[in-house]
């Protein structure tokens, strides 16, 4: 088995990463997606403009997993933080060996260390949330809060089809 490595996404990855992003939205999305808005976040990050993307590319060239990180500020501060917008492992690779989600978490930590800024990362999904919490606690320590969702449900596309 080839070692699983996370590499920086480049502009050449735009179409594959957008495909992966729409899978993520279909599974975890709260609201209807805007292709224009998503592309702006993705394209900026692939060009290292206020963000970055980490991808795991398989031998076939398919993106098996990815993480979208943006440099942002909190509403009350001018200081930058590294904010995770999405971390996603393609369903075909979740049970495969290699720990893709763990590799993406380590990539995010290394990016925050390199940029010398706090990393804001969380889970906004009802799907397999307990396992994700355990994964994040192993990598990042105890949680610093939680999310509650009133008048909404994650996975809206998936649930609408059921």
The ranges assigned to domains in the chain are: 7-161
- Paired with 67 in beta bridges are 54, 87
pLDDT for residue 157: 54
Confidence of residue 161 (pLDDT cuts 50, 70, 90): very low
- Residues 50-81 have pLDDT tens digits of 999 999 999 999 999 999 999 999 999 999 99
Segment 24-52 mean pLDDT: 94
For the domain spanning 7-161, the CATH number is 3.40.630.30
Tokens of 83: 């904010």
CA angle 135-94-92, nearest 5°? Answer: 160
Rounded Cα distance, 82 and 35, in Å: 23
Confidence of residue 29 (pLDDT cuts 50, 70, 90): confident
Segment 108-118 mean pLDDT: 97
Contact status, residue 104 vs residue 122, Cβ threshold 8 Å: no
Average confidence score pLDDT of the chain: 90
Segment 82-111 mean pLDDT: 93
Measured CA to CA in angstroms, residue 63 lies from 59, 117, 148 at distances of 9, 27, 31
Q: Which residue has the tokens 């993520």?
A: 24
Edge-first strand listing for the sheet containing 7-8: 7-8, 51-57, 63-73, 80-89, 119-120
Segment 75-89 mean pLDDT: 96
């Amino acid at each position: 088995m080839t070692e699983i490595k996370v590499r920086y996404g480049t502009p050449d990855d735009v179409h594959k990463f957008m495909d992966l992003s729409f899978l993520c939205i279909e599974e975890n999305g709260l609201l209807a997606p805007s292709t224009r808005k998503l592309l702006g976040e993705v394209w900026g990050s692939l060009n290292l403009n206020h963000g970055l993307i980490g991808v795991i590319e398989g031998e076939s060239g398919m993106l098996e997993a990815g993480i979208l990180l943006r440099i942002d500020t909190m509403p009350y501060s001018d200081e930058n933080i590294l904010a995770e917008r999405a971390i996603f492992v393609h369903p075909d690779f979740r049970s495969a060996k290699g720990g893709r989600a763990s590799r993406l978490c380590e990539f995010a930590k290394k990016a925050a260390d390199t940029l010398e800024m706090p990393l804001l990362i969380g889970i906004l999904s009802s799907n397999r949330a307990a396992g994700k919490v355990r994964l994040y606690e192993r990598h990042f320590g105890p949680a610093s809060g939680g999310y509650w969702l009133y008048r909404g449900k994650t996975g809206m596309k998936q649930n609408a089809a059921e």
